[in-house]
């Protein structure tokens, strides 16, 4: 990641950066991976200051899912940083490109969405994005407004900008080509359409994850073809999920949704491995470099225990999406349940499912599955063997355990740290 960038005199050339512009630049690139071309953003900031104008900062999002998680928030927060300095955030809802499907990072063709699915996802997405961005100062546009009317002449002009060889330089395309897996012409069109978005809104800077680097650079080529000054690009890292291994994704089950309840967010953040404390603090909070340095030094010296650091981190993040009071309450609740071993203050209650009862007994793995505390009987058996299932005060490891229905009335059943319910009394 780029924490600070300092240009040499040769790179600066004739640019004279004021102290305020240099400070702004360092804030804008903190936590990013790529700032291209070298010196491009600095030059834009200097010229914008001299001309008394703001830069147009582009972020395109395809509403392929209704939920935003903390992984999505990384690039949204970077856009918000540009807003902080008075630049114009341009948020493009990819209602048209969502029909094509972004092939970035994909090992197979993405399924196409219906217009109804796209519209529903876009509506939910915007409501959640408002937790990060000042939507009153966002220029909100939809790329269907200019992509849908494109004539064949313009489409052919776009396709002439790139070559098949260049497209196959992309890792995802290259790997699929080597494995003789299908790559549709539709997928080749995606980077070209995303690049045309930059032409349509006259972008100065485009933001994206590192998996978007090819598409962002393609935008520069297309802007040149249309006689516009090519945009600068900033890429941000893909956030690792709570498992500390794969990128955060709902499909991997390692995500923290920004619309989740405060207690749920806090609990999930407490489960992240220690090596993610600094990356999460850097990418998901408003911490200044000095604070980040203090946190790092404390962890390295052993003066700041990782468990305390994660509590402070989780409280900071939860407060961004809820409130400070809600975050503090979530921290107290977490400590009550997992540190003081007290019962949760709010416990959902469930009726004993009839399908869990066979004859006069209840097989515990089936009960956990019926209560949706586990995804299946098999997962329930596995978690029991790992000691993750508690019935009342007892950890139950034997997957053959059975109970009489009356024995479970009023009993708290817990799976792992955050899944629990109390069986209602008959």
Q: Is the pLDDT of residue 89 over 90?
A: yes
- According to DSSP, the residues that pair with 250 across neighbouring strands are none
Neighbours of 168 (CB within 10 A): 15
Give me the CATH topology for the region 349-423: 3.10.290
Please report which confidence band the pLDDT of residue 34 belongs to, taking 50, 70 and 90 as the band edges. very high
**Is 352 within 8 Å of 421 (Cβ atoms)?**
no
Residues 72-85 have a mean pLDDT of 96
pLDDT given at position 35: 95
- According to DSSP, the residues that pair with 205 across neighbouring strands are 57, 232
Give percent of the chain with pLDDT exceeding 90: 54
> Which one of 3.40.50.620, 3.30.420.130, 3.40.50.2300, 1.10.3720.10 gives the CATH number of domain 9-236?
3.40.50.620
**Is 232 within 8 Å of 223 (Cβ atoms)?**
no
The CATH code of domain 260-339 reads: 1.10.240.10
For residue 119, give every residue at least 6 positions away whose Cβ sits within 8 Å of its Cβ, in sequence order, or none: 95
The model carries a pTM of: 0.74
pLDDT given at position 15: 53
- According to DSSP, the residues that pair with 390 across neighbouring strands are 395, 414
For 163-221, the DSSP string reads -HHHHTTSHHHHHHHHTT----HHHHHHHHHHHHHHHHHT-SEEEEEGGGHHHHHHHHH
Measured over the CA atoms of residue 137, residue 48, residue 44 and residue 143, the dihedral's sign is positive
Domain locations along the chain: 9-236, 260-339, 349-423
Identify the residue with better confidence: 37 or 375: 37
Residues 183-209 have a mean pLDDT of 93
Pairing of strands 412-415, 389-391: antiparallel
CA-based nearest residue to 240, from 292, 282, 296: 282
pLDDT given at position 406: 85
Q: Is the pLDDT of residue 77 over 60?
A: yes
pLDDT given at position 375: 78
Residues 344-370 have a mean pLDDT of 84
| Mean pLDDT of all residues belonging to the chain | 87
């Amino acid at each position: 990641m780029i924490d600070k960038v300092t240009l040499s005199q040769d790179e600066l050339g004739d640019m004279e950066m004021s102290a305020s512009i240099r400070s702004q630049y360092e804030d804008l690139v903190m936590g990013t991976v790529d700032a291209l071309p070298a010196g491009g953003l600095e030059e834009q900031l200097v010229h914008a200051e001299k001309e008394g104008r703001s830069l147009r900062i582009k972020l395109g999002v395809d509403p392929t899912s209704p939920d935003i998680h903390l992984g999505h928030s990384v690039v949204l927060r970077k856009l918000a940083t540009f807003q902080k300095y008075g630049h114009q955030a341009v948020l493009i809802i990819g209602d048209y490109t969502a029909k094509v499907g972004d092939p970035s990072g994909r090992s197979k063709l993405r399924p196409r969405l219906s217009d109804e699915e796209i519209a529903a996802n876009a509506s939910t997405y915007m409501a959640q994005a408002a937790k990060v961005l000042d939507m009153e100062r966002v220029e909100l546009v939809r790329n269907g407004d200019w992509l849908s009317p494109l004539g064949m002449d313009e489409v052919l002009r776009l396709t002439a900008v790139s070559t098949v060889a260049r497209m196959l330089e992309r890792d995802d395309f290259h790997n699929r080509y080597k494995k003789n897996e299908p790559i549709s012409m539709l997928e080749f069109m995606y980077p070209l359409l995303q690049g045309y978005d930059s032409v349509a809104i006259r972008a100065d800077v485009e933001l994206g994850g590192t998996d978007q680097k090819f598409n962002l650079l393609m935008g520069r080529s297309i802007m040149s073809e249309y006689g516009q000054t090519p945009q600068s690009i900033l890429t941000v890292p893909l956030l690792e999920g709570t498992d500390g291994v794969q990128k955060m994704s709902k499909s991997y089950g390692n995500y923290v949704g920004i619309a989740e309840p405060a207690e749920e967010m806090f609990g999930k953040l407490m489960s992240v491995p220690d090596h993610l404390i600094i990356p999460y603090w850097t990418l998901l909070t408003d911490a200044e470099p000095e604070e980040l340095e203090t946190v790092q030094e404390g962890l390295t010296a052993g003066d700041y225990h990782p468990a305390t650091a994660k509590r402070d981190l989780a409280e900071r993040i939860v407060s961004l999406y809820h409130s400070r009071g809600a975050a503090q309450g979530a921290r107290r609740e977490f400590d009550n349940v997992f540190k003081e071993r007290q019962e949760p203050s709010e416990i959902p209650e469930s009726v004993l499912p009839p399908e869990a009862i066979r004859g006069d007994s209840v097989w515990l793995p089936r009960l956990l599955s019926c209560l949706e505390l586990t995804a299946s009987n098999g997962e329930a058996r596995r978690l029991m063997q790992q000691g993750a299932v508690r019935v009342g005060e007892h950890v139950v490891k034997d997957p053959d355990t059975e109970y009489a229905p009356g024995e479970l009335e009023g009993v708290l059943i817990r799976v792992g740290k955050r899944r629990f319910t109390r069986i209602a009394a008959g």
